[in-house]
Amino acid sequence: MLQTIRTESRGFAAGPLGTCRADWLRARRHRAKSFSPPAAPAKVIRWLANMIVAVHPLAGFDKVLHYRAPEKLCAGIAVGSLVRVPVVNRFTLAVVSQLDPTPDCPVEKLKNVAELVYPFPALTPELLSLARWIAAYYAAPLDTVIEAMIPVSVRKGLALKIEKRLAVARELSVEELETLNRRAPQQAKLYAFLKLQLHPVAKSLALERLKVGPSSAAALVQHGVLREIDHRIERVGYGDDLGSAEPVAVIPPELNLAQKAAVESIRASGAKGGFAVHLLQGVTGSGKTEVYLHAIADMLQGGGGAVYLVPEVALTPQTVARLRGRLEQQLGQRVVVWHSSLSEGERLDGWLALASGQARIVVGARSAVFAPVRDLRLVIVDEEHEPAYKQDETPRYHGRDVAVYRAKLAGAVCVLGSATPSVESVNNMRRGRYLHDVLPTRIDDRKLPRMHIVDMRHEIVAKRATSVLSRLLIDKLHDRFEKKEQSILFINRRGYSSSLLCQECGYVAECPHCSVSLTYHRADETLKCHLCGEVRPAPLVCPQCHSPKIRMRGLGTQKVEEHVARILPRAKVVRIDTDTMGKKNRFREILGEFRTGKIDVLVGTQMIAKGLDFPNVTLVGLVDADISMHVPDFRANERTFQLLVQVAGRAGRGDLAGEVVVQTFTPQAEAIQFAKQSDFDGFIEGEIKLREQFRYPPFRHLVHHVFRGDNAEKVLWVAEQWKKRVEPLLAGAAELRGPSPSPIERVQNEYRFQLWYFTGSVVKVVGVLAKEQREFPWPEGVSQTLDVDPMSLS
């Protein structure tokens, strides 16, 4: 029996076809013992020996196969069950997609299902429908979608963690004990110890405490004096990322009127039953999390389950701590936390807790949208505008859009929260598809910070040199340091700084057809539009003011850190960038030191802006607002506006008022002007008009097709041949643009060209493309991928 434990400590147990079949079976038995599976609905209980099932194998091919379910498995098999089936000459995992289909061959030729992996379905019918929709919409093979839904540890059948415990099975008489004492004093010692215990004791603990060997215990078990009990231990872990996410019990604050109205509005949708989407728009610091917590508590009372998505769990330990404090400590409801740095064991046990109905709430990043929560009644997507919700490998789904669709399938309420909702969501709200709840002010009537826009063109003229920090920002940094208040400087690192910007007049080269900035290609000194393919020579001087200072300049966090250290030699300046983010403990340490006031100025990229909540921060500087504005993407303005609002939102969260300094070469840009006024409606009005004019999303969908290979001419030729083939098939359904080089033409020695499909009907276009992809004579050395509703145009 010790074998199981050893396998445990290695992490993985091999499947039934591996070397540890005995372990696997043992684990399976424990599993069956530890759960009371939800009662199977009457219609799935079959008494016929020959039930036929259709399954999707998870084996790298996209096909439905038919099997016969042997009598002993019939009662347990349902749609969504995870089973093991023979395919050719091996066994593979598969998900049951249909009961009693019409088989594709005579019944007697069908093979048997070999094993039912869990006594409850791995996917609910709702998740299975969701998988089919994702496959059809995002042009992904169904098996890759199902694999994304079921964690590796679940699919591989990772063993449960079993602890051996010992208890007395038969009491010894005085004579027996004396004999034992004489012949085997070690055994007698163990027996005497266990006899005094009220509950079974962990074997390892008892043996270690008494310094008794395992053979003594084995002998007593063999003679029926002791019995060994398997006790399942749940690995409830929160991974490395959430070391500071211990539950924090706080007395729920009194809700303000706007929060109350939002909670009521969500409650009303919940009471009505059925699908509804609420767009919860609240300025930074307005207490959206509190609204979510109330909505979750309401829904729990009704007996339902909830999914709570955040863009990046590692950056929101405070939210997780609050959620656990409220739901675990005050309501006694376990919260399953779902993110990438969980161990496989923790992931398995979290998944099982949800699938078996023991836990009803999951909080996590993108993939938590697939968590097997039963009776789903509420789906929350916090910071719904975040591009991090889009997965950048197959299946390339958008977590927010999938969340909305899942809520629809489940008949649940979906809450999309943001200070700066996406154009897509606002458009849905305006068309009456989403309800709108607004939190217009910060909690406790705290003021939104005041935003100063610094025109860097003047700074350069005044100082006769390129400067990193403006005079205003330097003055304010001095001022905060004197007052013992804290500052954060953000460097904008979104995308690539590949556009041309005139540092004298703020001119930026744009494509006349597509309203995106042109990309500078250094190799042949050209400007190219990567949407339509427009090419022109790169100017040596600014076409507007004839200045030679026409270049995009990117700044590193290190350079900014050095500048600040020179300006404030006595201050403690620390930088957070991708290097420090890689070392999780260091990142946590820095945030801890910043919170306790040991750090005066924090320098970092905007990726850290999301969750930060430090009451003593009264100054926030955005060093280079232009970078995100002039990436060649029709969402560039939206991203810049969101960035400015989010960054500003980090200032003045405590009792002290905050100030924001934004440095830019294009201060007249709308995104900057509207952010300065905190005028979301004004900004979105113009942005929606522009999108409508150019027929960009949400007025049409975009499908991005990338062709890659090490021979540029060949890749381009293939892309052109492909276009010739599909363009007539898509006539009337999609407008094609390209092929054009990607903004970053060459990645890891591969050349990339892209085609764009603008369409009103994704499913129709994807259907045609997927079929043609299978039939097109793809040459060696060229690969291609489709991305539906891409969030980045590179």
Per CB under 5 A, residues contacting Zn ion are 502, 504-505, 507, 511, 513-514, 529, 531-532, 534, 542, 544-545, 547
Residue 345, classed as helix, strand or coil, is helix
- Are 628 and 640 in contact by the 8 Å Cβ rule? The answer is yes
Name which of 342 and 531 has its Cβ closer to Zn ion.
531
Cα–Cα distance measured from residue 90 to residue 85, given in angstroms and rounded to the nearest whole number: 8
Cα–Cα distance measured from residue 646 to residue 610, given in angstroms and rounded to the nearest whole number: 7
Q: Which residue from 660, 607, 672, 697 is spatially nearest to 398, judged by alpha carbons?
A: 697
8-state DSSP, 326: I
Structure tokens at 645: 């609002």
Name which of 505 and 574 has its Cβ closer to Zn ion.
505
The DSSP element (H or E) to which 131 belongs, if any, is helix 125-137
Name which of 358 and 547 has its Cβ closer to Zn ion.
547
Residue 741, classed as helix, strand or coil, is strand
Q: Which residue from 720, 717, 718, 708 is spatially nearest to 746, judged by alpha carbons?
A: 708
Residue 768 CB burial class (10 angstroms; 0-12, 13-18, ≥19)? middle
User: CB of residue 538 vs Zn ion: minimum separation in angstroms?
Assistant: 14
User: CB of residue 550 vs Zn ion: minimum separation in angstroms?
Assistant: 6
- Are 742 and 719 in contact by the 8 Å Cβ rule? The answer is no
Q: Name residue 418's beta-bridge partners.
A: 281
Name which of 44 and 505 has its Cβ closer to Zn ion.
505
Name which of 118 and 756 has its Cβ closer to Zn ion.
756
User: CB of residue 660 vs Zn ion: minimum separation in angstroms?
Assistant: 27
Name which of 331 and 690 has its Cβ closer to Zn ion.
690
Structure tokens at 782: 């060229």
Q: Which residue from 473, 305, 281 is spatially nearest to 379, judged by alpha carbons?
A: 305
User: CB of residue 624 vs Zn ion: minimum separation in angstroms?
Assistant: 18
8-state DSSP, 550: B
Cα–Cα distance measured from residue 369 to residue 163, given in angstroms and rounded to the nearest whole number: 32
Q: Cα angle at 429 between 423 and 431, to 5 degrees?
A: 105
User: CB of residue 794 vs Zn ion: minimum separation in angstroms?
Assistant: 15
User: CB of residue 511 vs Zn ion: minimum separation in angstroms?
Assistant: 3
Q: Which amino acid is at 609?
A: A
User: CB of residue 585 vs Zn ion: minimum separation in angstroms?
Assistant: 46
User: CB of residue 406 vs Zn ion: minimum separation in angstroms?
Assistant: 36
Query: What is the full DSSP assignment across 367-409?
Result: GGGG---SSEEEEEETTTT-GGGB-SSSS--BHHHHHHHHHHH
Q: Which residue from 203, 242, 277 is spatially nearest to 350, judged by alpha carbons?
A: 242
Cα–Cα distance measured from residue 421 to residue 509, given in angstroms and rounded to the nearest whole number: 28
Name which of 34 and 792 has its Cβ closer to Zn ion.
792
Residue 59, classed as helix, strand or coil, is coil
Name which of 263 and 456 has its Cβ closer to Zn ion.
456
User: CB of residue 517 vs Zn ion: minimum separation in angstroms?
Assistant: 10
User: CB of residue 544 vs Zn ion: minimum separation in angstroms?
Assistant: 5
Cα–Cα distance measured from residue 488 to residue 591, given in angstroms and rounded to the nearest whole number: 12
Name which of 441 and 759 has its Cβ closer to Zn ion.
759
User: CB of residue 688 vs Zn ion: minimum separation in angstroms?
Assistant: 21
Name which of 415 and 511 has its Cβ closer to Zn ion.
511
Name which of 292 and 507 has its Cβ closer to Zn ion.
507
Name which of 536 and 566 has its Cβ closer to Zn ion.
536
Terminal Cα distance for the chain, rounded: 55
User: CB of residue 629 vs Zn ion: minimum separation in angstroms?
Assistant: 16
Cα–Cα distance measured from residue 348 to residue 672, given in angstroms and rounded to the nearest whole number: 46
What distance lies between CA 789 and its chain's CA centroid? 17
